[in-house]
Amino acid sequence: MVPSRQRLRLLAKGQPTRATARGQGASARGRGRGGRGRGAHYPGRALRRPAAKPQGVVHFQERVQVLEFSRLLGAGGGVPSEGVSLGLGAKKRTVSETLAPERPGFGKLDQAVPVVPPRKRAHLLQEAMGKDEYAKAQRVHQKEMLFLKRGREKANATGEDFEPMPETLKAARRAAQKLRREVLSLHKDLGGPSPRKPAKAPRTGRRPKSAKARK
């Protein structure tokens, strides 16, 4: 079939002729019939996008509850290099306070909560615990701090006691139980008070036994 002059002009301009238009229409109809239910895209039909969810707004209350605790030597569980560990003891009271005004600039937390020097720590602990009680606890505390410092120096000098982080929950529990036994043994050797027993974890995934099963 010899193409006509009109068809050649349309092809030169890049416009579809009747034959190509009929072919494109047939292929589109074929895709429409065969592609329904399989995510087929129909020309000329815009895809619907899910509406964007409104962004949430965070509100802060003007008043907050503040828990006050007594000061206690070594109650924080930290190992300071200065030798005096200022920690929290028993709970004293709960009060309601107004939020402090926010300070501008960077490093606000470090400026608002500075590090307490060792002498001031000791003075605060003596006022809270009493001089006699503080002196009694300080003897045990100093002995424990000296033991821990020597252990740190020994551990940093060699990689013998290096242990990687546990990769599973089961391995982490085994490591925690081993550490607890070591801590109990350490407190017994130093003559200090033994730590409280941890609360048992609730059992999950087990149904309570029925009365028939118990019999």
Can you list the positions of beta strands (E) in 53-125? Answer: 63-73, 86-98
Residues facing residue 86 across a β-bridge: 73
Low-confidence residues of the chain, pLDDT below 50? 1-3, 19-21, 24-43, 208, 211, 213-215
Calculate the average pLDDT of the chain. Answer: 71
User: Phi and psi of 99, rounded to 5°?
Assistant: -60, 140
Residues facing residue 190 across a β-bridge: none
Residues facing residue 98 across a β-bridge: 63
Contact yes or no for 64/133 (Cβ under 8 A): no
Q: What is the rounded CA–CA span in Å between residue 176 and residue 162?
A: 16
pTM: 0.41
